[in-house]
Amino acid sequence: MHGAAYHVPMIRTHDVVIVGGGLVGASLAIALDGLALDVALVEATPAGELPAVFDQRNLSLAQASVNALQALGVLSSLQAPAGPIRRIHVSRAGDFGRVQLDAADYGREAFGQVVVARDFGQALEARLSRVQGLVRYRPARFAGLEEAGDGVRGLRLETGEGPLSLRTRLLVAADGTGSAVRAALGIGVRRHDYGQTLFVARVRGERPADGTAWERFTDSGPTALLPRGDRAFGVVHGVPSAQAAEVAALDEAGWLARIQSAFGWRAGRFLAAGERSAYPIAQVLAASLVAPRAVLLGNAAQTIHPVGAQGFNLGLRDALTLAELLRAAPADPGAEALLARHAERRREDRERTLAFSDGLARLTSNPSPLLRPLRSLGLLAADRAAWLQAWLVGGAMGFRGDVPELCR
């Protein structure tokens, strides 16, 4: 660790300090490769280990994200094949009508790709290891802000070798939903608990996944099947939080029966399932994306309902927009005008994506029989109206608002 050999700890100064080595923080560090900036990444996980976020979850990468991650050299480092999403099928139990979208109808090969979070984490790590001049503090945790002079922020890290002070011209909070950096900056949040828990697992069916992503809504929550590269499905199953312990306790046969019952038989019979992980679902929105010489990205800026798989894609676009602005004006990475421009460029994409995911979550989970004909009409309209389909496709592919250049 830098400074470990000195009895008086040195205060290291960087241009950019990114706190959080997960999906968004690592992607930003990669996107800044090759710039004349001294960049540091603060990671809670020791070298040789992957952060906990890189588990068996399935990441649905919108085409905008795929474009950017290809350009950054991340996807070429994937060891396991990704699963292309060629079709999207949306329906709701008890409502007639459905939405079917086919990428070929839009002159596209796919709307996006499904990757397993663990495989993606390994690909990010392989690419991170090739970033020139990146200083990695690991294992290290953000422990608070410190006083610093003009033009820099001071922060304190807890490391395996004791406390360490850093100075930076730009502090980036990519440390997740419960962001310690956001709290230290005094940025408040608005929180909405959906009262749902999401179960995630790999499921093998009698018919291999064929490129169709299925989204099935019921009164108790959504069930999605994502086509993985290994021809199995990544299943995402939402349940009311009060039932979470009961669902977690099901054996494999009971779990498969539950998924089959929620989803129906469109994808055939489910035969086997891997281990299940559970995640409580809440929306957490930061009151501001920026503070003096600081910026929030990804889940630290907004944690949204996973329906429609928008969260990581939105966070990646946060990181890529910031990287683009720093590429254009690297003289002072924490300049007030640059951060104001970042917040302005993120506004439309953020607002529209939040409205999309929250609206979908509330509308599709509301059991009111009065809403049923409206929902059915909505599904029928979406299946027939070109403008509505185009809106859904634009959202599914990640092209909303002021899209970063690398995404195009």
Reported as a pLDDT band with limits 50, 70 and 90, residue 3 is very low
User: What is the tally of structural domains in the chain?
Assistant: 1
8 Å CB contact between 298 and 317: no
**Is the previous residue joined to 139 through a cis bond, with omega within 30 degrees of 0?**
yes
Q: Does residue 18 belong to any structural domain of this protein?
A: yes
Helix axes 386-397, 336-365, angle to 10 degrees: 120
| Statement: residue 43 has pLDDT above 50 | yes
Q: What CATH number is given to the structural domain containing 358?
A: 3.50.50.60
For residue 95, the model assigns a pLDDT of 60
Q: Does residue 87 belong to any structural domain of this protein?
A: no
For residue 4, the model assigns a pLDDT of 46
Share of the chain above pLDDT 70, in %: 88
Assessment of whether the complete model's pTM goes beyond 0.85: yes
| Statement: residue 376 has pLDDT above 90 | no
The boundaries of the domain holding residue 361 are: 12-82+116-190+283-374+402-407
Reported as a pLDDT band with limits 50, 70 and 90, residue 287 is very high
The C-alpha atoms of residue 394 and residue 83 are separated, in whole angstroms, by 20
For residue 152, the model assigns a pLDDT of 97
Reported as a pLDDT band with limits 50, 70 and 90, residue 406 is very high
Helix (H, G, I), strand (E, B) or coil at 255: helix
For residue 81, the model assigns a pLDDT of 93
Q: What is the DSSP string of 310-357?
A: -HHHHHHHHHHHHHHHHHH-TT-TT-HHHHHHHHHHHHHHHHHHHHHH
Q: 7 versus 34: which is more confidently predicted?
A: 34
Share of the chain above pLDDT 90, in %: 70
8 Å CB contact between 20 and 175: yes
Q: Tens of pLDDT along 210-268?
A: 999 998 887 778 899 999 999 999 999 999 999 999 999 999 999 999 999 998 898 99
**Which residues are CB-neighbours of 38 under 8 A, at least 6 positions away?**
13, 14, 15, 16, 133, 135
Q: Does residue 330 belong to any structural domain of this protein?
A: yes
Helix (H, G, I), strand (E, B) or coil at 105: helix
The C-alpha atoms of residue 230 and residue 17 are separated, in whole angstroms, by 37
* Nearest one of 12, 1, 397, 365 to 195, comparing CA atoms: 365
Q: Tens of pLDDT along 101-121?
A: 899 998 999 999 999 999 999
Q: Does residue 6 belong to any structural domain of this protein?
A: no
Distances (CA, A) of 363 to 197, 279, 387, 391: 17, 21, 20, 17
| Statement: residue 377 has pLDDT above 60 | no
